[in-house]
Amino acid sequence: MSVPQLVVHRDKELMAQAAAARLITRIVDAQAARGSASVVLTGGRNGNGLLAALAGSPARDAVDWSRLDLWWGDERFLPEGDPERNVTQAREALLDTVGPDPSRVHAMPASDGRYGGDADSAAAGYAAELAAAAGPEDHGSVPAFDVLMLGVGPDTHVASLFPELPAVRETERTVVGVHGAPKPPPTRISLTLPAIRAAREVWLLAAGEDKAEAARIALSGAGEIQAPAAGAYGRSRTLWLLDAAAASKLPPALYPHASA
């Protein structure tokens, strides 16, 4: 377990640009060291803002997009191409621009795919795909992702792990179907905390005043069942990337405000 590190930016636009630059550097370093890199993407306004910033960065061409594996932390269980699916939004924001190897873009199953409307079977299928990609050096049933990104919800949820629901309590499976989610759509697929914790680095993104209380709770010793973001950490690094609004309620010991 790594101790969370905080980086606070002036506003959400600067946060997205700085996070994109940080991600480019991390991918390039991983590709230089091992020949390839593995990243888990997140949706939502902060995740998509980062992808859009990456698409607009001249430095994006430093990445060899053909040697990058892309995974997702969660997905809305909707038909292929639905505008609310994270993968659809990621394609529009970035992937259609940079042209990654399609065989290395590991989208979570859609509700009209090979598993039909069975979210639990679809989750098991994605878990099998992760396990097939894991090598002996990963010491587990998921690859050791270089960076796994998560948006933090106002209720402290990450991926589709919501407070108190069964998915956040899962300790064995790496991917689960989520039923009865408190925000639409109610049916989703999500990585579990054990899968998230297999990542070398976990980055949690939070921008806006509506995320301030969630950041305060998650970073102030809350339990992961009540505050799933508190249970999301990487093996070597856990990085919270926030804007000033999202950091506004953090205790001074965590983030010494300029006015303090």
What is the secondary structure of 151-162 as a DSSP string?
A: EPPTTS-BTTB-
Q: How far is CA 17 from CA 56, 150, 210, 216, 228, in A?
A: 9, 16, 21, 24, 26
DSSP string, 49-91: HHHHHHHT-GGGGGS-GGGEEEEESEEE---TT-TTSHHHHHI
Question: What type of residue is 167?
Answer: A
CB 199 within 8 A of CB 148: yes
Residues of the chain with pLDDT under 70: 1, 256-260
CA 243/CA 9 separation, integer angstroms: 5
Residues in the chain: 260
Q: Is 134 left (phi over 0), alpha (psi -120 to 50) or beta?
A: beta
Q: How far is CA 146 from CA 88, 160, 215, 219, in A?
A: 23, 21, 23, 23
Given this model, what pLDDT does residue 182 score?
96
For 249, phi then psi, to 5°, come to -105, 5
Given this model, what pLDDT does residue 1 score?
67
**Relative orientation angle of helices 12-34 and 44-55, to the nearest 10 degrees:** 70
CA 247/CA 137 separation, integer angstroms: 37
H or E segment and range at residue 17 = helix 12-34
Q: How far is CA 244 from CA 11, 60, 65, 168, 170, in A?
A: 6, 26, 32, 28, 33
Q: Within a 10 A sphere around the Cβ of 213, how many other Cβ atoms?
A: 15
Helices (H) and strands (E) in the chain, counts: 8, 9
**Cα angle 43-122-36, degrees, rounded to a multiple of 5:** 55
H or E segment and range at residue 215 = helix 212-218
